[in-house]
Structure 1
């Protein structure tokens, strides 16, 4: 008789544990997918290209950089990032860390890094190295099973 009284409790416990494990697995999968999107974007920049990056952003995305409103990602690529990358010989990230929080259909990232840019030589053959500590925060939205960057803000300061 006591077993019959415990059976509903044990069944509820089993279902709760199974559901909790499924939620954790889903959260881990989503975090990994978000990290993959951010890595794809970072890798493109390091390769001095914006090719294929438009698909990483929502149509109504917004880009903010060092206190400026850059507009949509498409506008940012056409009027800022794309032309800027043409002047660089190299762009690399080091000490890169990412934190991801997933909440339903949205994900929030914080990236910290040091970036080093080598500018192509000018007419006099002079080159320049820029090294800065940076941080970027982004909001991603899950649209039809794909994570896309909706808003991103980055800023930097001189390294010590």
Structure 2
């Protein structure tokens, strides 16, 4: 094994320095551009989901999630997004007068073929009966390209009362 590693290293040392020069930059730049485009596409997916919640209308958001997605919310296993939308989110939104996000931040990083997104935010909900809930929240999502589009495979969110409340 040591001989093989030594031979590989010695072989690499024979590659002309020019092989690592300008001719490789477009590929590196193209890969960097592609990652930047992917990062922006992921932010759009997450922003579209957030906007639907604020509109109190999550119809059509199923297209943002993979068919076999998994949703976890504040200690509960909600199943697929389709199940979560039908039995939790959709009915819940019907009882809200408003849902507004603030102090929203998102960070996206890549691990192989998947992206990991972390969102932090505050939100304020007002129910039809006038009750108000203000919370500090965080969501983590795993996204993967499915048929050329970024889809949410896994989403976990939780919230708590802001300190001093």
Question: TM-score normalised to the size of structure 2?
Answer: 0.86
Please list, as runs of the form range in 1=range in 2, the aligned pairs for 1:42-121 lying within 5 A after superposition: 42-121=50-129
Aligned partner of 2:42 in structure 1 is: 34
Are 1:25 and 2:33 matched, yes or no?
Answer: yes
Q: Among residues 22, 25, 32, which one is paired with 1:14 in the alignment?
A: 22
Moved segments of 4+, more than 6 Å: none
Unaligned stretches of 5+ residues in structure 2: 1-15
Q: Which whole-Å CA distance do the structure 1 matches of 2:26 and 2:112 have between them?
A: 19
> Does 90-99 or 101-110 show the bigger shift?
101-110
Aligned partner of 2:151 in structure 1 is: 148
Deviations 1:82-134 (A, max 9, x none): 0000000000000000000123421110000001000112xxxxx11100000
Mapped contact 1:34–1:147 kept (Cα < 8 A) = yes
Unaligned stretches of 5+ residues in structure 1: 1-7, 122-126
Structure 1 vs Structure 2 CA RMSD? 1.1
Aligned partner of 2:3 in structure 1 is: none
Deviations 1:50-78 (A, max 9, x none): 11100000000000000100010000011
Aligned partner of 1:5 in structure 2 is: none
Q: Which whole-Å CA distance do the structure 1 matches of 2:35 and 2:109 have between them?
A: 9
Question: TM-score normalised to the size of structure 1?
Answer: 0.89
